[in-house]
Amino acid sequence: MAIQKSSSIRNLLQSLRAASFSSMIANDHRFTSQAYSSATTKPSGYSDDEDADVNWDKLGFGLTQTDYMYVMSCCKDQSFLKGQLCRYANIELSPSAGVLNYGQGVYEGMKANRTQDGRILLFRADQNAGRMRHGAERMCMPSPSVDQFIDAVKETVSANKRWIPPPGKGSLYVRPMLLGTGPILGLAPAPEYTFLVYVSPVGYYFKEGTAPLNLYIEEEYVRASPGGAGGVKSITNYAPVMKAIAKAKDRGFSDVLYLDAINKKYLEEVSSCNIFIVKGNVISTPATNGTILEGVTRKSIIEIAKDHGYQVEERPVAVDELVDADEVFCTGTAVGVALVGSITYRNKRTEFRSEGRLVCQQLYSTLVGLQTGRIEDKKGWTLEIN
């Protein structure tokens, strides 16, 4: 009886705490000032139908502040409830927030595209939602349901539709984030969590644009190791690669290709994208085994390649196989499909086919066609935003 009573009191306190935190978020001007609704007072100087003041021809991959973001919160061991749109603004965090002290956070990356006939399409949003839930479980965090995730993304994109580039000029990059925002001193999951979605119009990820990339194979640093968090999109996976990227770029390379942590002989992935090699009719890519992120673009390209009649192998790919490859390319939400012109390993540069009829261009054309509505989507991959 005493145990039941104690459990009931604990559950009641948790419910009250969650309600209090949700109320704080709902009433805090840092999160909800001028929340987007029919009653919202729009900022002066533009209407929601007015085009954004952006030079679309010079759009790179950088942050452009847009109008609205989405915020949803909950407490530990609770479920997320309905969130809301608010004006894009800074947020306040406790110095002891779990995400600041222990890196308890995951994020996603996806794109919305405008079609030639004016529709707005999302691409495989359910896959990003599922991947966030998988990452949240690994990082001991509650996560939005798939429906909550997709609804939040749709609302955010719709509210910022004037920032979606014209067809052929770029995409609206969508960044959903799940953060441990509650204060915590000891090493443990944060008591409170915030789910955010913000957007920014973007162009090409690499400064080379569509030009072939020149990659450098890193041997001193590794991106991930077995048993770690390399297979989820944790925020902790990205800062550690910055040193290797800086070293490579100082030497004139586009990015870094990492090897496995144990044998230092198998390809893993590039800093922010997956890697594929082509030999004849066979396309090979490193198998996702816990150290490699299961990219949504990677998954899509594999299926598209099979549809085009290519044999696709997901397996360990030895670095020595590069010398015999006809073609190499990278895939990712930010990069799309990027051709690799050369890879340098132990001061030896290997060049790959970068002209003529290229496999990656064929696959990329199909991918972009689906994403932008030029090709009929018979797979159910796209989601139209009204």
**Spatial separation of the C-alpha atoms in residues 8 and 98, rounded to whole Å:** 27
- The answer to whether residue 233 is catalytic is yes
- Tell me 214's DSSP state: E
The first and second tokens of residue 325, run together, are 């490859």
**Spatial separation of the C-alpha atoms in residues 138 and 132, rounded to whole Å:** 10
The first and second tokens of residue 221, run together, are 């640093």
Q: What is the distance in angstroms between the CA of the first residue and the CA of the last residue of the chain?
A: 54
**Spatial separation of the C-alpha atoms in residues 274 and 292, rounded to whole Å:** 8
Phi, psi of 157 (to 5 degrees): -65, -45
H/E segment holding residue 344: strand 336-345
**Spatial separation of the C-alpha atoms in residues 62 and 200, rounded to whole Å:** 8
Phi, psi of 341 (to 5 degrees): -85, -35
**Spatial separation of the C-alpha atoms in residues 104 and 347, rounded to whole Å:** 38
**Spatial separation of the C-alpha atoms in residues 43 and 228, rounded to whole Å:** 45
Catalytic residue, candidates 58, 233, 306, 379: 233
Handedness of CA 217, 218, 222, 226 (dihedral sign): positive
Q: How far is CA 242 from the centre of its chain?
A: 17
Burial of 63 (0-12, 13-18, 19+ CB in 10 A): exposed
Catalytic residue ranges? 233
